[in-house]
Amino acid sequence: MRTFSFIISAFLACTNLFAQDSLPKVYPDVYGLRIGIDVVKASRNFWDKDYKGLEFNADYRYNKKWYLAAEAGFEDRFKEDDQLSYTTTGMFLKLGAERNFHQNWLDMDNLIYVGGRYGLSYHNQTLHSYRVNTGNAYFDEEMQYPELKSTGLMAHWLELVVGIKVEVANNLYVGMNARLKGLFYQTQPEGFENLYYPGFGQKYSGNIGVGFGYTLSYMIPFKKKFNTVNTDRTLIRK
């Protein structure tokens, strides 16, 4: 009799546990403002004596998949090689959006995203020196020191951005991204050309540039939208 009672009790307990596991799960989608910095630019101030700069980034969740995004900052960069030396100083701003393609499980909040930016910079450039090619093998190339300063320069470009953001602690995220940039407008300095653009970097072939970034950011939650899903991840209600 005791054995029969034990079997019945165990069966009822297992049935109850299975029923609980099969119940729909309720989890929140967090909406808020994520604010952070580019850790590469921030750390470069300590190990590169010819560079000063910071980049702040932010994004706001517009809906389940889309985020509004922005970056802003400043750069002061001195560059010297065998042919020339110059300093570029200025500010930049980037505005755009990105779409999350990652399907999070329950209360996870990670992103694999693709997006775009419109960027602009306002900067000054000082050409300290440059080497003149004499075109004659019997004469040495001449180094000129004009200290030519150009102010009020501007540049405009577009960016394709691909990246990830991972929540490593409550509301704390680390991320990395890659960018392909296309310059479509600039004001040139007098007697020379732009060599570096704050926020864009150095241009390479034509008006193309590339960039990489690593970010550390914190989410300030504003509101939550609760979702109900089955254990097979089928959305029931949002």
Q: How confident is the model at residue 228 (pLDDT cuts 50, 70, 90)?
A: low
Report the pLDDT averaged over residues 189-196. 86
Nearest to 181 by CA among 153, 212, 137: 212
Whether the per-residue pLDDT at 220 is higher than 70: the answer is yes
Is 48 within a domain?
A: yes
Q: Higher pLDDT residue, 55 or 12?
A: 55
Is 155 within a domain?
A: yes
Top-confidence range, 36-40, 62-66, 125-129: 36-40
Q: What is the dihedral of CA 40, 49, 76, 80, to 10 degrees?
A: -110
Is 3 within a domain?
A: no
Tell me what pLDDT residue 235 has: 46
Structural domain boundaries, residue 215: 27-237
Q: How confident is the model at residue 8 (pLDDT cuts 50, 70, 90)?
A: very low
Nearest to 98 by CA among 68, 62, 64: 68
Region of poorest pLDDT, from 59-63, 114-118, 221-225: 221-225
Structure token pair of residue 209:
């540039």
pTM comes to 0.82
DSSP assignment of 11-63: HHHHHHHHHHHTSPEEEEEEEEEEEEEEHHHHHHHHH-TTEEEEEEEEEEE-S
Tell me what pLDDT residue 27 has: 67
Per the structure, the count of domains in the chain is 1
Is 45 within a domain?
A: yes
Whether the per-residue pLDDT at 15 is higher than 70: the answer is no
Is 8 within a domain?
A: no
Is 218 within a domain?
A: yes
Report the pLDDT averaged over residues 214-229. 84
Tell me what pLDDT residue 12 has: 43
Q: What percent of the chain has a predicted confidence (pLDDT) above 90?
A: 61
Question: H helices then E strands: how many in the chain?
Answer: 2, 10
Tell me what pLDDT residue 132 has: 77
Is 101 within a domain?
A: yes
Q: What is the CATH number of the domain that holds 213?
A: 2.40.160.20
On whether the CB atoms of residues 160 and 177 are closer than 8 A, the answer is no
Whether the per-residue pLDDT at 97 is higher than 90: the answer is yes
Q: How confident is the model at residue 23 (pLDDT cuts 50, 70, 90)?
A: low
Q: How confident is the model at residue 117 (pLDDT cuts 50, 70, 90)?
A: very high
Q: How confident is the model at residue 144 (pLDDT cuts 50, 70, 90)?
A: confident
Is 17 within a domain?
A: no
